[in-house]
Amino acid sequence: MSTVTGITKTMTVTGLAVAAVYGATRVALRARRAWRNMKIIQSVDTGSVWTTE
Amino acid sequence: MKFSRNRATLRIAIIGGGFGGIGIGVLLKKAGIHSFEIFEKSANIGGVWWDNRYPGAEVDTPSVMYSYSFEPYRWSRTHVRQAELLEYMEYVAEKHDLMGHVRLNTKVERADWSDKAQQYTVTFGDGSMREFEIVISAVGLLSDPRYPTWPGLDSFEGEKFHTSRWDSSVDLTGKRVAVVGTGSTAVQVVPNIAPIAGKVTLFQREPGWVLPKGAQTFGPAEREALNDPIAQKLVRWGMLIQREKFQYRNAAWRPGTPENAASERAAREYIARVFAERPDLANLVTPSYPFGGKRPILTDDFYPALLRDNVELVPYAVDSVTPDGLVDMSGTHHEIDVLVMSTGFKSSFASTFDVTGHNGIDLHTTWAGDDKAFLGIMVPSFPNFYMLYGPNTNGGAIVTHLEEQIRYVVAAIKHQMRNGYSALYVDEAITEAYNVILQNRLKGTSFDGVNNYYASANGRIITQWSDGAIVYALATRLLRRIAWRGKRVVRSSVKQPIVLPVDREYQQPDVATTPQHADADLQKIIQASEV
């Protein structure tokens, strides 16, 4: 394997790994924000599970 | 699958511009189908939320659930009032560019299927007629007011109106107002007119089970959080799952179940708490039938309003009307200035217009009061006709049910277009089997034997679904393909069975130039195929 090919492969793997970590972090942060917002909305407890329509 | 704009498509008439009509308009557009028109008899969209503008009109279901899952909103309250719901619907219609498809002040009188032409002729209130291949009823269940037939009603000399046709020009200040009925509407009206009226006399034929609604106003933090669509969906799903244990097999409406017992206990505790010092009233408002026999009533301010000095609860139905008042069933005459009829709605489906199907049979004659359909959506012998919020679909999360029905109808239309069917039916045997199973699952519920709008005159439960929102969603998705039957009519003079210009800005065609697929176009049915 030539040096150039090795560097290219290493950069590709590194790039993919960084992208994966970045993407996973973004998803995790979004999920955490959604979860927190859900808890805020749910904090207004109506005390009723009823729907009657 | 999205349909391209130049693909052959079908003309679709949607009757009703409420939650159903607007919702299906949005999802048809998302599916790439633009050849639809929404006919609304009123001067605006909104359906029941346009009609019901009485004081205190408010939704009973949390707004996060009583809204389209695809269109979250920044609600001001847990249970919003009529004006905000109307605002929401206008927002949805404008955002999805639907108003160009809406025909206001246009009442549909009837839709008649032609076996030969394979299309419906829709007749409007002004006598004009148009042809559509598909008709969708989105008029809902509780849209046609039920007016009482008391002797002497016409002789009453004061103002009188139904709650769903509220006359806001009538000033109730200091007046003696009679409210007849103690259902979900009356319990919102009474607390809101009592502070201004001189006296409110409430006529109660039979009390309903009442539970506190717990309605609250969202603060700035909650409203900010509501901006997060994912969070709002999570809340919605959480509520749905939480409610399932009450609704699967109608647990909360089945005497003897822990859910039914807990609900009745909570309602009795609420009565005891509010009327601790008024045992006479506590006695009058306690029902004698099991919890769930009538639609449970959710309200925070009705019971406290009954404690006001200017509110009188009359535990009798109305017997007759005099020029200046009402006579109750005990024979007592009550002098009043204004009569408010909170007497509910006709519980029949597609009730505001007539439909005839295969061989000219009439829908309402076929039903003979025992309304039934496959999943509440399709009726055998009525090709290309769909109902939203049809028979046996009520109970629980109505908009969630409605969305499932809308997805079903959009899938059916796509299936029809994809296969070139001129008519899509539902199988009669499958529909019968479905309804037998459904009625069996409804047996033993509190609905039986109680005076409510759930049952037909024959005692058959025609409005209620049996198993909660999740089972309904699964049923609409899994059962549809086995029940659909397609028929293909090919017109020798037309290459495509039905070809119409379709574009994003689909406009109401000029009636004079509307393509008329006259009988002459149809030579013969050359192929009938089963799905």
Q: What does the DSSP assignment read for B334-399?
A: EE-SEEEE---B---TTTTSEEE-GGG-BHHHHHTT----BTTTB-TT-TTEEESS-TT-BSS-HH
Residue B511: count other Cβ atoms within 10 Å of its Cβ: 10
Mark residue B392 as left, alpha or beta (left: phi above 0; alpha: psi -120 to 50; beta: remaining). left
Could you tell me what percentage of chain A is helix, strand and coil, using 3-state DSSP and rounding each to the nearest 5? Answer: 75, 0, 25
Contact flag B222-A53 (C-beta cutoff 8 Å) = no
Question: Distance (Å, rounded) from C-alpha B292 to C-alpha B209?
Answer: 7
Tell me which chain A residue has its CA closest to the CA of residue B396.
A51
Residue of A nearest to B213 (CA): A48
Q: How many domains does chain B have?
A: 2
Partner-chain residue, chosen from A34, A44, A51, that has the shortest CB–CB distance to B231: A34
Is B54 in the same domain as B191?
no
Are B24 and B137 part of one and the same domain? yes
- The CATH number of residue B331's host domain is 3.50.50.60
Q: For B298-317, write each residue's pLDDT tens digit.
A: 999 999 999 999 999 999 99
Range of the domain at B110: 12-144+348-521
Residues B284 and B385 in one domain: no
Per residue in A2-51, pLDDT tens?
888 999 999 999 999 999 999 999 999 999 999 999 999 999 877 665 65
**Chain B residues closer than 8 Å to A37 by CB:** 225-226, 228, 230-231
* CB-based contacts of A17, cutoff 8 Å, min separation 6: none
> B334 with B314: CB under 8 angstroms?
yes
pLDDT of B508: 47
Q: Across the interface, which of A40, A46, A53 has its CB nearest the CB of B221?
A: A40
Across the interface, whether the CB atoms of B230 and A34 are under 8 A apart is answered: yes
| Distance from the Cα of residue B15 to its chain's centroid | 13
Backbone angles phi, psi at B392, to 5 degrees: 55, 40
> Which tokens hold the place of B5?
């704009």
Last residue of a domain, one of B283, B317, B341: B341
Query: Is B238 within the bounds of a domain?
Result: no
Residue B389 amino acid letter: Y
Nearest residue of A to residue B214 by CA position? A46
Phi-psi label, residue B230: left if phi above 0, alpha if psi -120 to 50, beta otherwise: alpha
Q: Please report the ipTM that was assigned to this predicted complex.
A: 0.83
Please check whether residue B78 lies inside any domain of the structure. yes
User: CA-CA distance, B139 to B355, in Å (whole number)?
Assistant: 13
B456-504 pLDDT, tens digit per residue, is 888 899 999 999 899 999 999 999 999 999 988 754 433 344 433 333 3
| Poorest-pLDDT segment among A9-18, B1-10, B91-100, B223-232 | B1-10
Domain boundary pick from B341, B358, B382: B341
Residues of chain B in Cβ contact (below 8 Å) with chain A: 59-62, 64-66, 78-79, 184, 211-216, 218-219, 221-222, 224-226, 228, 230-232, 234-235, 238-239, 242-243, 246, 263, 295-298, 394, 396-398
